[in-house]
Amino acid sequence: MTEPEREVTLVDESGVERRFSLHDAFDLDGVAYYLVEDVTAPERVMLLRESDSGLETVDGEEFGRVMKALEEDRVE
């Protein structure tokens, strides 16, 4: 049985609230990641990383590495 999607509200750097569906939350190499989809713009999917300063958008080489690990089910 799959877990139902959860909706979360995030505040961007300019103070604008945006609603996202949380598709997945997982750990890789001791770092927590969240895969989210914008509720009002489903084509906008983001990978977020938990850090000491809050949530940060993941891109570039790290994005590729984390998504590959997720696809290969090498995450916790």
Average pLDDT, the chain: 92
Domain ranges of the chain: 6-71
**Mean of pLDDT values over 66-75:** 96
Instruction: Give the Cα separation of 52 and 72 in Å (integer).
Output: 27
pLDDT at 51 over 90: yes
Q: Identify whether the C-beta of residue 48 lies closer than 8 Å to the C-beta of residue 57.
A: yes
More confident residue, 45 or 4: 45
pLDDT at 76 over 60: yes
Distances (CA, A) of 76 to 9, 14, 42: 24, 32, 25
**Mean of pLDDT values over 34-40:** 95
pLDDT at 1: 42
